[in-house]
Structure 1
Amino acid sequence: MTASPPLPTARPRWPGEFTVGIARSPLALFTRLARAHGDVVRFRAAGRTFVVVAHPELAREVLVTQQRRFVRGYAHRTLRLLLGDGLLTSEGDLHRRQRRLANPAFHRDRIAAYARAMSAAAERWSDRWERRSPTDVEVDVAAEMTTLTLGIAGETLFGTDVGDRARDVAGAIGDAMRVAPLAFLPFARWALRLPLPHVGGFVSARHRLDRIVYGIIAERRAAADADRRDDLLSMLLVATDPEETDGEPMSDEQLRDEVMTLFLAGHETTANLLAWTWLLLGRNPDAEACLHAELDAMLGAGPAARAPTFDDLPRLPYTRSVLAESMRIYPPAYAIGRICVERCTLGGVDVEPGWGVVTSPWLTHHDARWWPEPERFRPERWSEPAPDRPKFAYFPFGGGSRICIGEQFAWTEATLVLATLASRWRLELLPDQHVAPLSRITLRQRPGARARLVPRSPAPS
């Protein structure tokens, strides 16, 4: 056997630089290292060895071809303290069983049913904007989209009768997420036992979440019509594994973990996608005009615009392209971490068990080798003839057996919400704003973009 070439190794400019960087702004650290060292780079942080891979083919190796040699990354281990063993954090046989149980809730016919709630919620949000004031109303775009998608997540997951408790769940998750910067560090599990300011909030949030979610589960089990409801929780209550002869439904603890996972993933990532989309449209009036032209032709404009339906989705290609381009520039899941458990080779170099491996949609989505003018917002690139680029040059929902189970749910929700609101409103960005990506568990805005609500009028005939 010939020895593998040594991994390019990044050296910190000062002691602890990488440890601080991975805790404060992992996105900035990964970007700097990839630009300085290329497609594969090793570095040490917090006593651990990490490898960042920036080439699409290497991302495919980690997530698909050699996925059995990896398990979920360090951040997911810390998330498990909050989310338990849900689809986002579980491993092995448990993950495969839970995915089989949850799959029917995300079939096309189920998403079509959820689409009605999504579209209705967006209409109510438009009416809410209308009631606030006809002109010159300023909003925090990220906060608006978070609250809207929170309501959609609560309704599709729990049904229509737990709105207040859905908001309580979101508030508790927000409190718990303040410890997110600790997630990448090796001492995270121990740090959460220390009397630190955010730690107390994390523990309190965990107790609040358990009380709320277990209460909803108990009520739903006792309800006479539980098996006739259309929400996700009701489907999970009666789901059984098709590969088990005498399949048992989920326990209360399993249900709690899946509910927590779906609730967090179901509103956090979509809210971020929509917030970034409004920002990009506000900065690119030509793309905004093309979006309005498509929506006006299909739905109308202004107060008379009709609500989009699930059947309208194939007839809104530019709207989908706008969202795809937004996810390219600002992928909500900007990095996907794994831990090597079996020695393997990536890009011709050896990776040892125990090393953390990071693949990053952000890095590949901004790579000029695959995306000409990568910083430019061009929805038209999604309708042009497909260039010869690797599949994993674009992977906002991950890949392999752990690809996001809610991908089509997210596409449906984001398209319906954007189409409903953009057919009736323009969000005019306020001047002199500097909105930067904040890399936590997902890619948020810092601060949230501020915009003026401008009602749209029907186009001249």
Structure 2
Amino acid sequence: MYTAEVPRGPKGHFIVGSLPEISRDVLTFFTESARKYGDIFRFSFGPFPAIMINHPDLIAEVLVTQQPNFVKSSVYRRGLRFLGNGLLNSEGQFWQRQRRLVQPAFHLERIAAYADVMVSYTNELLEQWQNGEVRDLYQDMMSLTEKIVSKTLFGFDIRNEVSGVQRALDAVMDFNNQLSNQYLLPSWVPTPSNLRYERATQQLNVIVYKIINERRESGKDIGDLLSLLLRVRDEDNGTGMTDRQVRDEVITLLSAGHETTANAMTWTWFLLSQHPQVQAKLHSELKTVLSKRTPTFADIRSLSYTEKVVMEAMRLYPPVWGISRVSLQDCVLGGYNIKAGTTVFISQWVMHRDSRFFENPNVFDPDRWANNFQKKLPTFAYFPFGGGSRICIGKSFAMMEAILLLATIARSWSLTLQPDHPVVLQPSLTLRPKYGLKMQLIKI
């Protein structure tokens, strides 16, 4: 039983809808609108009709129950066009095939073998640190996770290419930070943002195609994901993946595989610096479990509080703060008729701070995750890795990496935020600190 009425929502402006408010502060817009209008509300991006859903049951409808009717929008893919037709952008049978192909690289026995690389690269970073030094932890985490994912998944050492890859990804994120780039201006219009985006894509192409060509010429199979992508054959016609297909998957996993973890770690350091009692409890666990040695994969099960710190940091500062889908056909959501072509927004930022599911939702409290708290929550009250069939393929990889990096660093270092450093949220495709994160290193 449903009503033909559309949901309530902010009136917006003539022609541009709610774009000005969203462009000014999208997190505040979504948070305040959810508080005012409830579990579902309508708004618009100029001529594009949209709704936002703010209840686990409704999110489950979109990502699970009615999932075939909700796909990535052309606008979303425009913002991520540098990824080509990789896992994040592809749909249908092609996506299913690629997902099956890539999945073995993230099986538990495989990612367990990545642990030593994660810890080793982290120790290399720590060898550069000096007691009392002030560093941008955001840049350190970006560089570190980029090296880790390139080595573990693709078997190459990207140290000489890190700055180039990072500049290119920064250009992409800056483009997506302005919603007008996605919703109002076609990608072929030669604006400064579009031109910078295209240059960034070309820069990534040069780096990735060089890696692909070198591996094809060597003919080596070293058992990594890149080897798998190059040797796979289609079951129907026996053809392999083109260089373009390999390139799309490499750039997708390289970008997503380091960007989200780096942001999760960055916000974890920020929160720890603001909560010395949590930092002290973390150090106590690391001293008890590890003493003076570095962590291994076998230690993860014993680092329960370390894991809770990561989970709580991702609750308050989810690396992916929101996702969207577009309806292919008319449907019903929350008792309302939703027209085909409507964009549906879902925000981890909003849901993770909902007082219906989290007591004192704005407080950083890792102990809230004790006693299997997550199992008591509705599935989509806490979903930093998305959900449904398109849940992040690297979820286990990312959690293991975050725990090991946090343990390796925090066992011997305490980090203090510089008092004059501005901490400003930049909600692009991921949730970045706009001005980085300048912190002082204190050896413990």
Matched with 2:138 is 142
Residues 157-181 of structure 1: per-residue CA shift (max 9 Å, x gap)? 3324443235423322222332113
Closer/same/farther in 2, CA of residues 99 and 395 from structure 1, 3 Å limit: same
Unmatched 5+ stretches in structure 1: 457-461
Give the residue type in structure 2 aligned to 1:427.
Answer: L
Give the residue type in structure 1 aligned to 2:428.
Answer: R
User: Quick check: 1:396 aligned with 2:384?
Assistant: yes
Closer/same/farther in 2, CA of residues 184 and 107 from structure 1, 3 Å limit: farther
Shift in Å, 1:117: 0.9
User: Quick check: 1:180 aligned with 2:170?
Assistant: no
Matched with 2:361 is 374
Give the residue type in structure 2 aligned to 1:140.
Answer: D
Residues 109-136 of structure 1: per-residue CA shift (max 9 Å, x gap)? 111122111110111111111xxx3x32
Say which SS state the counterpart of residue 148 (structure 1) adopts: helix
Give the residue type in structure 2 aligned to 1:205.
Answer: A
What does residue range 54-453 of structure 1 map to in structure 2 within 5 Å? 54-129=54-129, 133=130, 135-182=131-178, 187=183, 190=186, 192-224=187-219, 226-227=220-221, 229-240=222-233, 244=235, 248-300=239-291, 305-384=292-371, 386=373, 388-453=376-441
- Tell me how far apart the structure 2 counterparts of residues 146 and 206 of structure 1 sit (CA, whole Å): 19
- Tell me how far apart the structure 2 counterparts of residues 184 and 97 of structure 1 sit (CA, whole Å): 34
Shift in Å, 1:155: 1.7
Say which SS state the counterpart of residue 229 (structure 2) adopts: helix
Say which SS state the counterpart of residue 89 (structure 1) adopts: coil
Kept in 2: contact 1:74–1:183 (CA 8 A): no
Query: Between the two proteins, what is the percent identity of the paired residues?
Result: 41
Kept in 1: contact 2:75–2:183 (CA 8 A): no
Matched with 1:459 is none
Residues 290-327 of structure 1: per-residue CA shift (max 9 Å, x gap)? 11111001112xxxx22211111111111010000000
- Tell me how far apart the structure 2 counterparts of residues 79 and 252 of structure 1 sit (CA, whole Å): 22
Shift in Å, 1:182: 4.6
- Tell me how far apart the structure 1 counterparts of residues 71 and 424 of structure 2 sit (CA, whole Å): 31
- Tell me how far apart the structure 2 counterparts of residues 245 and 57 of structure 1 sit (CA, whole Å): 40
- Tell me how far apart the structure 2 counterparts of residues 3 and 162 of structure 1 sit (CA, whole Å): 56
Kept in 1: contact 2:326–2:343 (CA 8 A): yes
Unmatched 5+ stretches in structure 2: none
Kept in 2: contact 1:46–1:186 (CA 8 A): no
TM-score if structure 2 supplies the norm length? Answer: 0.94
Give the residue type in structure 1 aligned to 2:91.
Answer: E
Closer/same/farther in 2, CA of residues 18 and 109 from structure 1, 3 Å limit: same
- Tell me how far apart the structure 2 counterparts of residues 13 and 46 of structure 1 sit (CA, whole Å): 8
Residues 66-111 of structure 1: per-residue CA shift (max 9 Å, x gap)? 1111111355311342110000010111110110110111111111
Measured on the aligned residues, the alpha-carbon RMSD in Å equals 2.1
Residues 6-53 of structure 1: per-residue CA shift (max 9 Å, x gap)? 311321278746112334543232122112211100012221111000
Kept in 2: contact 1:280–1:326 (CA 8 A): yes
Residues 230-265 of structure 1: per-residue CA shift (max 9 Å, x gap)? 433223223456xx3665442211110001100110
Closer/same/farther in 2, CA of residues 73 and 2 from structure 1, 3 Å limit: closer
